[in-house]
């Protein structure tokens, strides 16, 4: 059992991963109460398009392989990449993988695609759709539900990785760009050695999920949150990731930082009550009273020093 917008079943059958997603059949997509229930209408729409142009099927497979190889395939919240439906719509619009690469090479966010011409132009799409649905880099008007952005789940991070790999492909077309690159702990250690960074790594628990890709995506989301906190503490993170041999790692530019860090308060011209609240709170601070830095009232506080402990505590649900 896998949990999603609706729980579904996933199992191995004769070497293939099989997923069974329950859905309710409605009379029209507008009546569907769950994204899983819209799939019936999406499948029929796609089938008609591919029956009219069977060559598109191979182009879709090519695109999906490219996305998987570069770890940006899948719309689940932990990954925020390109869903299967988005992949298919991109090929319907662009007609081939090569044409898609050429179009995206010169495109800049926000990219607006309206296959069925529900709107007059991209400006109208951005104006009419809810702002929460157009916050990402890619807006694909759902052919069956014009007020829906089919690609709303695509993050800037996944989009940027996709763009980079596409442009790389156009410069140097190579089969290897369609093969998973793979990353193991040994490669990470060698790379860290070349860079001169300080590497911290931990082994991931076994049995968290039957599909390691799901565990990896969720863990990466958690690590991204951790990196933001470490950055706030003044630790300079060079890179981070999860290896195929079940290790999570964080590279630091240095493990040597000052004992103290600046804790920022309001601007010096903030309302009197905010200024006085901050000053009153920190007037007996062990490292000294508040002072001015870059137009703000700041105070020195001790930095969290036990890095291993902080990381283990933050990722405790995933680490051995």
Three-state SS at 8:
strand
- Collapse the DSSP code of 112 into the 3-class scheme (helix H, G, I; strand E, B; otherwise coil) and give the result: strand
pLDDT of residue 182: 82
Closest CA to 81 of 229, 189, 213: 213
Predicted model pTM: 0.79
Note the pLDDT tens digit of each residue in 154-200: 999 999 999 999 999 999 999 999 998 888 999 999 999 999 999 99
Angle 73-74-77 from CA coordinates, rounded to 5°: 135
How many CB atoms sit inside 10 A of residue 193's CB?
Answer: 10
- CA distance linking residue 277 with residue 300, whole number of Å: 16
- pLDDT, tens digit, 9 for 90 and up, residues 249-303: 999 999 888 889 999 999 999 999 999 999 999 989 999 999 999 999 999 999 8
Helix (H) or strand (E) holding 299: strand 296-302
| Nearest Cα to Cα of residue 205 among 314, 311, 318, 308 | 318
Residue 61: which of 79, 49, 73 has the closest Cα? Answer: 73
pLDDT, position 37: 85
- Phi then psi dihedrals of residue 166, to 5 deg: -65, -45
Task: Round the average pLDDT of the chain to a whole number and report it.
Answer: 91
Domain boundaries of the chain, sorted by first residue: 53-178, 185-256+308-314, 260-302
Confidence of residue 78 (pLDDT cuts 50, 70, 90): low
Question: What pLDDT digit, counting tens, does each position of 202-248 carry?
Answer: 999 887 766 777 788 889 889 999 999 898 888 899 999 999 899 99
Question: How far, in Å, CA of 176 to CA of 91, rounded?
Answer: 21
Rounded to whole angstroms, the Cα distance separating 49 from 309 reads: 55
Residue 16 buriedness (CB in 10 A; 0-12 / 13-18 / 19+): exposed
Is there a cis peptide before residue 265, judged by omega within 30 degrees of 0? no
At residue 210, the pLDDT reads 67
Three-class secondary structure assignment of 14-25: CCEEEEECCCCC
8 A C-beta contact, residue 249 and residue 240: yes
In angstroms, the CA 257 to CA 288 distance is 19
Superfamily (CATH H level) for 53-178: CCA tRNA nucleotidyltransferase, domain 2 (1.10.1410.30)
- Nearest-Å Rg of the Cα atoms of the chain is 24
The residue-averaged pLDDT of 110-123 equals 96
């Amino acid at each position: 059992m896998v949990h999603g917008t609706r729980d579904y079943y996933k199992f191995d059958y004769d070497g293939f991963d099989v997923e069974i997603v329950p859905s309710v059949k409605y009379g029209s997509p507008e009546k569907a109460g769950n994204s899983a229930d819209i799939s019936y209408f999406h499948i029929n729409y796609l089938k008609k398009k591919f029956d009219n142009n069977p060559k598109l099927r191979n182009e879709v497979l090519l695109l999906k392989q490219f996305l998987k190889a570069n770890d940006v395939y899948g719309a689940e919240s932990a990954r925020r990449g390109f869903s299967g439906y988005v992949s298919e719509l991109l090929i319907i619009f662009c007609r081939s993988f090569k044409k898609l690469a050429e179009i995206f090479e010169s495109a800049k966010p926000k990219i607006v695609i309206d296959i069925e011409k529900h709107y007059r132009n991209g400006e109208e799409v951005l104006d009419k759709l809810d702002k929460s649905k157009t916050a990402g880099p890619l807006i694909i008007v759902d052919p069956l539900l014009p007020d829906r952005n089919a690609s709303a789940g695509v993050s800037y991070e996944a989009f940027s990785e996709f763009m980079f790999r596409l442009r790389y492909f156009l410069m140097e077309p190579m089969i290897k760009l369609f093969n998973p690159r793979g990353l193991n702990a040994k490669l990470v250690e060698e790379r860290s050695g070349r860079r001169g960074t300080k590497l911290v790594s931990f082994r991931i628990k076994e049995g968290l999920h039957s599909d390691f890709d799901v565990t990896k995506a969720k863990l990466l989301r958690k690590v991204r949150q951790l990196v933001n906190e470490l950055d706030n503490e003044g630790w300079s993170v060079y890179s981070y990731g999860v290896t195929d041999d079940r290790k999570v790692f964080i590279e630091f530019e240095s493990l040597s930082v000052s004992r103290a860090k600046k804790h920022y308060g309001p601007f010096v011209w903030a309302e009197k009550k905010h200024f006085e609240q901050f000053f009153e709170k920190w007037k007996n601070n062990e490292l000294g009273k508040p002072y001015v830095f870059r137009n703000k009232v700041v105070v020195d506080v001790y930095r969290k020093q036990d890095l291993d402990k902080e990381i283990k505590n933050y990722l405790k649900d995933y680490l051995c």
